[in-house]
Amino acid sequence: MLFVVIGVLLVLMKWLDVGPVVDWSWWAVLVPFALAVAWWAFADASGMTRRREMDKVDRKRQDRRRKAFDALGIKPQSASGLEKAAAYRASREKQ
């Protein structure tokens, strides 16, 4: 997003004849847009965008669950408590 903002500012400066950008070629002014496309391609290919979206969904789910427990007056179990309960159930099933 930063590259797009910089690109828009440079295009406006070039178009309005402001500052040293007037003497630059249009190719130099449009470079931030090419960098933005390259960054977005990298982010999508590496899975970074997908991970961010999944993290947002997980945070929303946890917040919703926490609010539901609070509304019911139940203190949610900690992760270690859940792990202990799962380990106990697994040992009981083996017996």
pLDDT (tens digit per residue) in 28-64: 999 999 999 999 999 888 888 888 888 899 889 888 8
Domain count, the chain: 2
Domain that holds residue 22: 2-46
Q: Are residues 34 and 63 in the same domain?
A: no
Q: Are residues 20 and 55 in the same domain?
A: no
Q: Are residues 36 and 69 in the same domain?
A: no
Q: Which two tokens stand for residue 93?
A: 């099933």
Asked whether 69 and 76 are in contact (CB, 8 A), the reply is: yes
How much is the pTM?
0.57
DSSP 47: T
Q: Are residues 14 and 37 in the same domain?
A: yes
Residue spans of alpha helices (H) in the chain: 2-15, 26-46, 48-72, 79-94
Q: Are residues 6 and 42 in the same domain?
A: yes
Q: Are residues 34 and 11 in the same domain?
A: yes
